[in-house]
Structure 1
Amino acid sequence: MSVTIYDIAEKAGISRTTVSRVLNNSGYVKEETRQKVLKAIKELNYTPSAIARSLSTSRTNTIGVVVPEISDPFFGEIIKGIGEIADKHELNIILFDTADSVEKELKALKLLRQQRIEGIMITPTFTEKNFNSEYLNTLEKLEIPVILMDGHVNYEEFSGVFIDHVRGAYDGTEALIKSGHRKIAIITGDMNSRPAKERLKGYKKCLIRNNIKVQDRYIFCGDYKYENAYQITKKILKMEDRPTAIFVCSNMMSLGCVKAFNEEKITIPNDMAIVGFDKLDVLNILGLNISFVNGLTTELGRVGTKMLIDKINNKNKKNNRQIERITLLPELILKGSERYIYNKD
């Protein structure tokens, strides 16, 4: 049988209004009376209803998190950072995985709106070309803070935290050049996404600044997926004038490359050098020292959550509607896989 505030009031010999004040920490209550309520709560083993409390305080202490693919370690790291800050502020999280579908993302946004959440953190689906008026109207009608996590929405401006993808790709490519490589391939992400476009831009920029011709035959369009990168790497290894190094634009694609290397008995970096984007713990577990550009995704989650909390707490202030954007500078982690050893010439 559930215990209500009526039971607590009766046991403590005080009014229901006073019990409510103690439970919600609102209004003045004598310390002696407060102790009576707390004692009654303990003796009755009362657990307050989160739903009832949210109705009385107009606060749900809940935020929504929407990502394209939760199985991707990139988003797992972001969620880890979100969780760290959310726990410190006693925030609940409702998480949606949209499977990179605009339709599922739209459904998630509508469901979150019904849950009376206080704010949303979202990485919009990569298929930006599919954004439509219904999607944009739904975002506009949320009337709660929305923080972008390294993603963009066409025709709309929101606050958010982003990674400098151009800088990251430039640094990763430069590490290969400094090691002696001149024939460097790139496996991009989904070219419908801004991060993929920016990483390709950084790669090209680095080649040009180092007087290396950008060759289309060394540019391979991936989709951030393991299987696609595996197939692309197989093709690269069969090229007549194949590159000596590959810059891979996501952690899951790096794993696909490694699988292809293993099947073709290609050793790193003796036969092929590689630098990836974002860390992948499984590579360390397997004892593979793959150099990578660390996008600081966990920190992205932390910073984004702090930004959201600030906007929630200051939602009635005029300057709270100003667009705030923070860009994190990635760091290059070299483990030796970028070295130049193999020389076909």
Structure 2
Amino acid sequence: MKPQNKKVTIYQVANRAGVAISTVSRVLNDSPNVSEKTKEKVKKAIDELNFRPQVSARKLASRKPQMLAIAVPSFTTPYYNEVLKGVKDEIGPMDLDIVIYNTGSKNPKEGIENFFNRGTADTVISISIDIDDNIHRQIQASGMPIVLIGSSHPEYDYIDLNHRKGGFLAGEHLVKQGYKKIGLIRPALETKAGSLREKGFLDALKEFKMPIHDHLFITGESTKHAGFTEEAGFEAINIYDQMGEFPDAIFCANDTQAIGAYHALNRLGMRVPDDIGLMGYDNIKFTKYLDLTTIDQKMHSIGVQATKRLAEIINGETDNKLQITIDPVLVPRNSTNNPNK
């Protein structure tokens, strides 16, 4: 006998139970507007036919979102993982299915435009993607509730990040630790976060009247994840080595760069902090075990806060927009403990 591969439909359930399709959909969505007797008939038909509802069927009687898309330039880097953990820890009571949409780090705006063209979700959390006029029009046309993380727009709820202040804190810390010749490892591609961190870093050097050694502002060769990678940090240290000149201390654009730089310095026989100071940015979990000075962006708590806000929007519990910018904090550790201070 041939196996039965045909999927049971909501129409067959309605026919077996002797009710309308909309009634089946109400039962699937646990609507109170169905009598107990009718519910029992529909549930019996579902069991007899071994019916498994599709998302589209569940939506027929419910206007609430069923699918949350998290649009993110990468879901493999530690920074984004921490934000996603925050979303995961808060999403349970919302009864939403989650899809992670990777926009790509080289052109995230184009990636999110493709996402809206597909129309595969009901609500969105967007991470580190600037909303231009074209994307704004797409969001408006979709009618999706949305919360932005790491970007801002006057029409939407957002939790932005003060990258410039974080860069300033890094520069200020290294200066106060007594370092005179300070280098920087940049990301390979132009990004809002990288540019603002560098501007803040330069602001601090200028405010403390420190010399700026432009030739010690290095970019690794790797463009993966825009150059916010271990490979890029490793490559930058090798560039210093080829130049025959090292800074007294290095500020890396993020922690993963700093981890790669740390490894490269060890291979060259240079000790942190005895021979060179090193700091990163993000305060990912691994930095604690390297004793690495860094800047904490509170990624996990931001993921939690954004998800809570999305729940309020969906449930109509707010009249005002949440539009805030989070200030990062310095996390000093041994990697910048200057022995010559």
User: TM over 0.5: same fold?
Assistant: yes
What is the TM-score when the length of structure 2 is the normalising length? 0.80
1:268 aligns with 2:275: no
Partner in structure 2 of residue 89 of structure 1: 94
Structure 1 residues 57, 140: closer, same or farther in 2, change over 3 A? closer
1:116-131 equivalence runs, <5 A: 117-123=121-127
1:145-224 equivalence runs, <5 A: 145-151=145-151, 158-189=156-187, 192-221=190-219, 223-224=227-228
Q: Which runs of 5+ in 1 are unaligned?
A: none
- Helix, strand or coil at the partner of 2:279: strand
What is the TM-score when the length of structure 1 is the normalising length? 0.79
What is the alpha-carbon distance in structure 2 between the residues aligned to residue 239 and residue 192 of structure 1? Answer: 24
Partner in structure 2 of residue 74 of structure 1: 79
1:188-337 equivalence runs, <5 A: 188-189=186-187, 192-221=190-219, 223-239=227-243, 242-283=246-287, 287-314=289-316, 319=319, 324-337=322-335
Deviations 1:259-278 (A, max 9, x none): 21122111111111111001
1:39-78 equivalence runs, <5 A: 47-78=52-83
Structure 1 residues 215, 152: closer, same or farther in 2, change over 3 A? farther
1:104 aligns with 2:106: no
Structure 1 residues 174, 58: closer, same or farther in 2, change over 3 A? same
Instruction: Using the TM superposition, give the Cα deviation of residue 15 of structure 1 relative to its aligned residue in structure 2, in angstroms.
Output: 5.2
Amino acid in the other structure paired with 2:205:
L
What is the alpha-carbon distance in structure 2 between the residues aligned to residue 140 and residue 219 of structure 1? Answer: 41
Structure 1 residues 240, 7: closer, same or farther in 2, change over 3 A? closer
Instruction: Using the TM superposition, give the Cα deviation of residue 176 of structure 1 relative to its aligned residue in structure 2, in angstroms.
Output: 2.2
- Helix, strand or coil at the partner of 1:306: helix
Contact (CA 8 Å) 1:162, 1:300: kept in 2 or not?
no
Instruction: Using the TM superposition, give the Cα deviation of residue 54 of structure 1 relative to its aligned residue in structure 2, in angstroms.
Output: 0.9
Partner in structure 1 of residue 141 of structure 2: 141
* Root mean square deviation, CA, Å: 3.4
Identity of aligned residues (%): 24
Contact (CA 8 Å) 1:152, 1:194: kept in 2 or not?
no
Q: Which runs of 5+ in 2 are unaligned?
A: 221-226
What is the alpha-carbon distance in structure 1 between the residues aligned to residue 238 and residue 90 of structure 2? Answer: 42
What is the alpha-carbon distance in structure 1 between the residues aligned to residue 33 and residue 136 of structure 2? Answer: 45
Amino acid in the other structure paired with 2:138:
T
Amino acid in the other structure paired with 2:275:
D
What is the alpha-carbon distance in structure 2 between the residues aligned to residue 245 and residue 339 of structure 1? Answer: 10
Number of residue pairs aligned between Structure 1 and Structure 2: 326
Contact (CA 8 Å) 2:178, 2:340: kept in 1 or not?
no
Deviations 1:17-46 (A, max 9, x none): 766544433344566776787788778876
- Helix, strand or coil at the partner of 1:290: coil
Amino acid in the other structure paired with 1:304:
A
